[in-house]
Structure 1
């Protein structure tokens, strides 16, 4: 029976080539888009699944009170990990991970060949790292690789980059020109879907933090391995009791919670102090899943539209089949077989399109999706599920409605007119264009919000400012020489040595009104010199910049606060000058100046408290250079020459402040790009269905058009007659889509502290665009039908 159904389905496809082609192409495009988006979702949900202990690994999260409620940090104090292993039942092992210099790049010198490199992914880890995160060792032993100080494990690609074809085992590398490390292991490159993104894993025992662990400095990502009987809720209570034993209540500015490894990648949005460069978002996964299903639905609607339009041709066929004894069940099977054949062909074409489009999709999403995922069991299963669902949804009307038509109804007027089919068809057109309009408005609002962010006055000027890593100059005591050399450059307007810059993590402290203040707010503190306000273009509201010179024995710490911090202290900018600062900057720290508020982090969050100071607690490892030049490549070459003149043994590593600011919104930009490309394709698929439907309608009304032309109707009037019914449906779709799109995008915008207001102009332009697209699509067939010779259309009568 199935074989017979397949023959009938194939003959039906060949008999109606135009509509079959529209069906297959529309489904193929929709399916290929959906498959690509599902591929992205599968990749994001596959993070950290490669580790054997994945179900028994937890990350420690630190909770503290910030300016606008609770903040969650991904880092913890250095003393936490050893205490967990020792004091908490069920925790069998723990590991601390510190990204080099608190997230900064490392300068690596390969002793063998004197090769100088910049390493962005160097981590200092406990020797328990490979116990918790099992990795495939090519050389060395996982149990011994990091047990000694001054040892290091390299990934396979990194070892090749450092040593070429030479055997790296036992060789020495020097980090930041003063820490020598022996290579004791080579591992396979960590997969792209691992949160751990290290190229170099060095022994934590090398650092002073290992010998003197503190409960104060929370800069260490901490993971723990637990037993089968471990209960997270019970453990969190035991951890708090442990904290009470080690830290006085008045000094506990935080508490801890446990995060399962499976949630680390997708459920860490909004958390601070993340080290991994691979950051996902469950919201983005849900948006892309919704987009995939929406586009798949639009493609299915195309098929259903054309199937219902063709129902008048098929209804007599059904009646004859039933008269000859065909059962309802047999007809249902026949229609589903036909749908399955069409969707099967579309699936094959869609998979080929998806396979070919993976590199382009990678460039749009800035991900590295593996093409081999197309052949994975999950993806093949997803294809089969999509095929079954598409066949069921797209074939539901012809299978369930037409198969129940009785032979008596075949000759009735209502059956021939297809009232039920017409109603379904209209409903599907409305649904299809409603979905398309929601997509267009959504992408437009996302794009407007991103443009608003990028063009918003941040309170400082990041344009034409470059941050150059000067860690080696600090170690060589040559920072003054470096500053003097850059001041001589003709394009340089001003220079400054700083700990960090806006958009970069600096030191987190707490600011208190007084010593008795039980609350306090979070304060970002940045050690800098006297020119920092000028280089960053900050507006001084009161007081003076930091002093140019400071005596060696001078214990006074000069502080510049932003207005947010001064407001918390209860002063006006003028009143704040000379007041003492209670923020862990020393007993002799005083306010020297107040600057206007500026956005030093993402616009997702309101402006917090910020300070610049000239204390000696942290090193100034960045050289900020404000320049004015029309020839950027030549300027950078000049900067590198001057830098190498003072620090010849250091690599020239730089970052533009405006580019760094843009990176804060990488996820939103990616969503906008993907949404834009796939929304355009979704509109194309919707128009493809509308085109087919208009063609079929014109074909059905050929004789009516012929009679009207004989009676004197013009091409314009006939085109208007054929188009107006479709345009009414598009207008109805707009009425449904507008409030739904507003609700969805208003909900999305609430995640930003600074946001646009959704303008009625967006809806007006979208509505006009949708109507024009629909009109152009319909008019092509309408004009073609209106220009037919009436003799040809009426000769059969």
Structure 2
């Protein structure tokens, strides 16, 4: 019996090749994109779940109040780890995680900058990163022992066993030798914590002084705790105030400085611009992608249903004959569902092939390492898609047509007033609504991102190259910056003397969210004032093209202006200064200093945030003397900013490398472009925009195929009517307009509902930017005209062919 159902289904599908082909193409495209999206969502939701203690591991989140409200960060003081372990019996284990990097080499032919993580000895007992060689309890006990991943081992040692071998890393003033004591499998792609080398936390002594390690206001890296019972999270958080009162003493103010615990299972899906040291994905992205997948599948299913409605007359006679021959309602339902199932299964196979072909592009777009592994959960996703599509696409022919009464069908008295008109028009209108909603959303995103790219940031980013130079590690923070700047000045002067270089400066921070360091000091009234700071040298402001509104620029001489500050407009406004050049910072802890200039406001952060108060200084000793809070959110290595003369970028790069080899012969050379650093801040939204554009293109393609098929079905059903009208003298234009009018009305319905809804839905997305730019009403009018023209073109191509047919041929059987 089942064999006959499949035979009949195959015959029916083969008989109507055009409709079957359109259904297959539409469903295959929809399934291919949807499979990638649903597998991606499942992959993202599985982050960090492979740790056996995942439910008990929490990351500390620091809350500190300033003049702008509560500042939330995952950077924590070094002293946090031992304090939590001592103060809370609920805490079983704790580990620090501090990022760093150093020049590393085996010999003079293998020199490169190597990032690493400084962690506590319990790190590999807390997290389930798989050791291939070594003991998890022992490998991180030795200060000069290093644990590396397989990829890192291959980079340094090739195919030889790295265990027991050594690499040299510059830690402090000298190169130290680190023995490889552990080998890890490469870190899983679904781990938020990514690294290449692990070092014992005693190594932070090279760069973090004792006073900073014991300070509650200097923050470095992150802290993770393991609770005996995950339910005790609230008990620990309730006890934090008492702990802070104990450790801060007279500096304690209730509710202004405290910590909370964030489950490790939740830290990857964060709706924040500053996720800390980990890679994160915004939950909103997953919801948007899921919505896109659902909408594309809806359009494909609507094609299936509308074509079933269009063929209802032919299929109704089939139902009438089969019922007369004894077929039951359930058998007919099963027959129609079998056809839908066969179409869906065929489309699923084609969709899987398409998904595999699109996977490299998808991974490149989202910078992921997604693999289409068909395990239990993936099988459930595919099964759910098959059942869902079969149900949606086959529901109308299966249940409505199977319930028809044979006597009405065979007499020709059956009315499909709702089925052939209302439902069909509604579904086609819904297709256009989805398509135009995606297209309008794409228009809004493209317009906004173009505005972001072309926005004046207050500095020049064209032909500006960044070269990160080695720092001078020291337990004295001020000494480290001063000595690294002194060496960088030698390189800067060498570059400034070349005719290919227009100007060159030195900076600690470049551009991006949290790139400038965060500082704070107490005002005379006791309130905390927070600002952003940057240490600069040479012709920094000139190279960056920043404008001085009042006063002057720094003297480029390294020994001049050691007590000078330059502030931005926002800093002066926040202080209510009418004449900033006559003012000093209102805190007696600051060493004598002078504000020599006010720079025009510039965006040191991305355009997601507002401009903040900023201080630029040449001497770290002067600025750091007065602050009581410092958060280092970027590296401490100086960067040389270089502005080239002309457009010969390759010549400029060769000059940079040539002078580098003279000043830093033992260090690896690397550079980047400032405009690429700026663009990096918006990659997530750029990727989302490309995904929605792709979805809009696919939606239009599927809807166009559906429109083509529906127009063909409509015209086929009205062939005799068209013939009669032509015999009575109707022109081809009037007949074409008669057919077009119905579809144009449907198009207008979809457009006029989609456009205002797209504005409403995109409001939340565009509100995240400090700079907003909506498309003009002309753009939306052109979009509506384009949609109407597109519909008219598709329908007119069909109606024109119909009007050219000879009426004698169409009416001869009457």
TM-score w.r.t. structure 1 length?
A: 0.93
Supply the distance in 1 between the matched residues of 2:354 and 2:418 (Cα, whole angstroms): 38
Report the counterpart of residue 384 of structure 2 in structure 1: 385
- 3-state SS of 1:528 partner: strand
Report the counterpart of residue 666 of structure 2 in structure 1: 649
Supply the distance in 1 between the matched residues of 2:3 and 2:66 (Cα, whole angstroms): 69
Report the counterpart of residue 315 of structure 1 in structure 2: 316
* Worse-superposed segment, 207-216 or 586-595: 207-216
Quote how far apart the aligned CAs of 1:401 are: 1.4
Question: Judging changes above 3 Å, is the alpha-carbon distance between structure 1 residues 793 and 585 closer, same or farther for their aligned structure 2 residues?
Answer: farther
Report the counterpart of residue 265 of structure 1 in structure 2: 268
Supply the distance in 2 between the matched residues of 1:42 and 1:584 (Cα, whole angstroms): 56
Report the counterpart of residue 631 of structure 2 in structure 1: none
CA RMSD of aligned residues (A): 2.3
Report the counterpart of residue 116 of structure 1 in structure 2: 111
Q: Deviations over 1:126-165 (max 9, x none)?
A: 1111111111112222111111212211110111101213
- Pick the aligned partner of 2:583 from 579, 582, 592: 579
Quote how far apart the aligned CAs of 1:615 are: 2.4
Supply the distance in 2 between the matched residues of 1:124 and 1:295 (Cα, whole angstroms): 46
- Pick the aligned partner of 2:141 from 141, 147, 151: 147
Supply the distance in 1 between the matched residues of 2:129 and 2:416 (Cα, whole angstroms): 68
Quote how far apart the aligned CAs of 1:680 are: 0.4
Report the counterpart of residue 735 of structure 1 in structure 2: 752
Give yes or no for contact 2:106–2:168 (8 Å, CA) kept in 1. yes
Quote how far apart the aligned CAs of 1:412 are: 6.6
Report the counterpart of residue 168 of structure 1 in structure 2: 162
- Pick the aligned partner of 2:192 from 192, 195, 198: 195
Q: Deviations over 1:630-680 (max 9, x none)?
A: 111221011111111111111112221111011000100000111112210
Supply the distance in 1 between the matched residues of 2:637 and 2:318 (Cα, whole angstroms): 83
Supply the distance in 2 between the matched residues of 1:484 and 1:530 (Cα, whole angstroms): 9
Map 1:617-766 to 2 at 5 A: 617=621, 621-766=638-783
Supply the distance in 2 between the matched residues of 1:583 and 1:612 (Cα, whole angstroms): 17
Quote how far apart the aligned CAs of 1:582 are: 5.1
Report the counterpart of residue 300 of structure 1 in structure 2: 301
Quote how far apart the aligned CAs of 1:702 are: 1.5
Report the counterpart of residue 454 of structure 1 in structure 2: 453
Report the counterpart of residue 237 of structure 2 in structure 1: 236
Report the counterpart of residue 477 of structure 2 in structure 1: none
Supply the distance in 2 between the matched residues of 1:411 and 1:756 (Cα, whole angstroms): 61
Q: Say whether residues 1:500 and 2:537 are aligned partners.
A: no
- 3-state SS of 2:221 partner: strand
Supply the distance in 2 between the matched residues of 1:45 and 1:742 (Cα, whole angstroms): 29
Supply the distance in 2 between the matched residues of 1:326 and 1:358 (Cα, whole angstroms): 46
Give yes or no for contact 1:176–1:471 (8 Å, CA) kept in 2. no
Give yes or no for contact 1:706–1:793 (8 Å, CA) kept in 2. yes
Q: Deviations over 1:600-652 (max 9, x none)?
A: 11111111111111223586611111222311122101111111111111111
- Pick the aligned partner of 2:491 from 462, 466, 482: 482
Quote how far apart the aligned CAs of 1:368 are: 2.4
Quote how far apart the aligned CAs of 1:464 are: 1.7
Supply the distance in 1 between the matched residues of 2:430 and 2:775 (Cα, whole angstroms): 23
Report the counterpart of residue 129 of structure 1 in structure 2: 123
Q: Deviations over 1:105-124 (max 9, x none)?
A: 5422224x6511133x4211
Quote how far apart the aligned CAs of 1:548 are: 4.2
- 3-state SS of 1:626 partner: strand
Supply the distance in 2 between the matched residues of 1:279 and 1:629 (Cα, whole angstroms): 40
Q: Say whether residues 1:4 and 2:21 are aligned partners.
A: no
Supply the distance in 2 between the matched residues of 1:581 and 1:68 (Cα, whole angstroms): 18
Report the counterpart of residue 434 of structure 1 in structure 2: 433
Quote how far apart the aligned CAs of 1:249 are: 5.4
Supply the distance in 2 between the matched residues of 1:340 and 1:86 (Cα, whole angstroms): 62
Supply the distance in 2 between the matched residues of 1:641 and 1:726 (Cα, whole angstroms): 68
Q: Deviations over 1:377-403 (max 9, x none)?
A: 222211110110111111111122112
Quote how far apart the aligned CAs of 1:42 are: 1.8
- Pick the aligned partner of 1:557 from 556, 560, 563: 563
Supply the distance in 2 between the matched residues of 1:691 and 1:9 (Cα, whole angstroms): 24
Map 1:391-470 to 2 at 5 A: 391-411=390-410, 415-470=414-469
Q: Deviations over 1:713-738 (max 9, x none)?
A: 33333322222211110011111112
Q: Say whether residues 1:207 and 2:224 are aligned partners.
A: no
Q: Deviations over 1:310-350 (max 9, x none)?
A: 11111122223333333333322222222111111111111
Question: Judging changes above 3 Å, is the alpha-carbon distance between structure 1 residues 73 and 661 closer, same or farther for their aligned structure 2 residues?
Answer: same
Supply the distance in 1 between the matched residues of 2:271 and 2:195 (Cα, whole angstroms): 19
Map 1:332-411 to 2 at 5 A: 332-371=333-372, 373=373, 375-411=374-410
Supply the distance in 2 between the matched residues of 1:413 and 1:726 (Cα, whole angstroms): 27
Q: Say whether residues 1:254 and 2:260 are aligned partners.
A: no
Report the counterpart of residue 510 of structure 1 in structure 2: 520
Report the counterpart of residue 103 of structure 2 in structure 1: 107
Quote how far apart the aligned CAs of 1:434 are: 0.3
- 3-state SS of 2:351 partner: helix
Q: Say whether residues 1:534 and 2:533 are aligned partners.
A: no
- Pick the aligned partner of 1:544 from 552, 574, 585: 552
- 3-state SS of 2:435 partner: helix
Supply the distance in 1 between the matched residues of 2:526 and 2:140 (Cα, whole angstroms): 44
Give yes or no for contact 1:557–1:586 (8 Å, CA) kept in 2. no
Supply the distance in 1 between the matched residues of 2:589 and 2:812 (Cα, whole angstroms): 97
Task: In structure 1, list runs of 5 or more residues that go unmatched.
Answer: none
Supply the distance in 1 between the matched residues of 2:160 and 2:328 (Cα, whole angstroms): 76
* Worse-superposed segment, 221-230 or 123-132: 221-230
* Worse-superposed segment, 785-794 or 127-136: 785-794
Supply the distance in 2 between the matched residues of 1:114 and 1:131 (Cα, whole angstroms): 36
Report the counterpart of residue 36 of structure 1 in structure 2: 36
Question: Judging changes above 3 Å, is the alpha-carbon distance between structure 1 residues 561 and 724 closer, same or farther for their aligned structure 2 residues?
Answer: same
Give yes or no for contact 2:489–2:558 (8 Å, CA) kept in 1. no
Supply the distance in 1 between the matched residues of 2:746 and 2:199 (Cα, whole angstroms): 65
* Worse-superposed segment, 259-268 or 176-185: 176-185
Task: In structure 2, list runs of 5 or more residues that go unmatched.
Answer: 473-482, 625-635
Supply the distance in 2 between the matched residues of 1:505 and 1:248 (Cα, whole angstroms): 32
Give yes or no for contact 2:501–2:652 (8 Å, CA) kept in 1. no
- 3-state SS of 2:537 partner: coil
TM-score w.r.t. structure 2 length?
A: 0.92
Question: Judging changes above 3 Å, is the alpha-carbon distance between structure 1 residues 249 and 396 closer, same or farther for their aligned structure 2 residues?
Answer: farther
Supply the distance in 1 between the matched residues of 2:616 and 2:605 (Cα, whole angstroms): 15
Question: Judging changes above 3 Å, is the alpha-carbon distance between structure 1 residues 585 and 616 closer, same or farther for their aligned structure 2 residues?
Answer: farther
Supply the distance in 2 between the matched residues of 1:280 and 1:656 (Cα, whole angstroms): 26
Give yes or no for contact 1:72–1:271 (8 Å, CA) kept in 2. no
- 3-state SS of 2:716 partner: helix
Supply the distance in 2 between the matched residues of 1:788 and 1:584 (Cα, whole angstroms): 95
Q: Deviations over 1:759-792 (max 9, x none)?
A: 2123112211212222222222222222223333
Give yes or no for contact 1:93–1:132 (8 Å, CA) kept in 2. yes
Report the counterpart of residue 633 of structure 2 in structure 1: none
Supply the distance in 2 between the matched residues of 1:388 and 1:150 (Cα, whole angstroms): 58
Give yes or no for contact 1:71–1:271 (8 Å, CA) kept in 2. no
Supply the distance in 2 between the matched residues of 1:772 and 1:249 (Cα, whole angstroms): 73
Supply the distance in 2 between the matched residues of 1:383 and 1:370 (Cα, whole angstroms): 15
Supply the distance in 2 between the matched residues of 1:515 and 1:694 (Cα, whole angstroms): 77
* Worse-superposed segment, 225-234 or 468-477: 468-477
